[in-house]
Structure 1
Amino acid sequence: MEIQQEEIGRKGKFFAVHAGVEEAVMTYVYAGNNIIIDHTEVHDIFKGQGIGYKLVDAAVKFARENNIKIKPLCPFANAVFKKKAQEYADVLF
Structure 2
Amino acid sequence: MSEIVTDNMARSQYELPVAGQTVFARYRRQDGVVSILHVEAPVSLRGSGAAGRLMQGIVELARSQNEKLVPLCSYAAAWMRRHPESADLLA
Q: TM-score, normalised by structure 1?
A: 0.84
Count residues with an aligned counterpart.
89
- The aligned residue for residue 36 of structure 1 is 35
Local SS of the residue matching 1:39:
strand
Structure 1 residue 89 corresponds to structure 2 residue 87: yes
Measured at CA, do residues 82 and 32 of structure 1 come closer, stay the same or move farther in structure 2, by a change above 3 Å?
same
- 1:60–1:4 CA distance, 2 compared to 1 (3 A): closer
Q: Aligned letter for 2:85? A: E
Structure 2 equivalent of residue 7 of structure 1: 9
Code of the residue aligned with 1:14 in structure 2: it is: Y
Over residues 55-88 of structure 1, what are the superposed CA-to-partner deviations in whole Å (9 max), with x where a residue is unaligned? 111111011101110000011001101111x211
Letter in 1 for 2:9: E
Q: Return the offset for 1:15.
A: 1.7
Q: What is the root-mean-square deviation of aligned Cα atoms in Å?
A: 1.7
Secondary structure of the structure 1 residue equivalent to 2:47 = coil
CA contact (8 A) 2:18 2:50 kept: no
Inter-partner Cα distance in structure 1 for 2:58 and 2:30 = 15
Residue 2 of structure 1 deviates from its aligned partner by 3.0
Q: Quick check: 1:15–1:22 contact (8 Å CA) kept in 2?
A: no
Partner of 2:78: 79
**Partners of 1:3 and 1:14 within 8 A in 2:** no
Could you say which structure has the higher strand fraction?
Answer: 1
In the alignment, structure 2 segments of 5+ residues that lack a partner are none
- CA distance in structure 2 between the aligned counterparts of 1:3 and 1:39, rounded to whole angstroms: 19
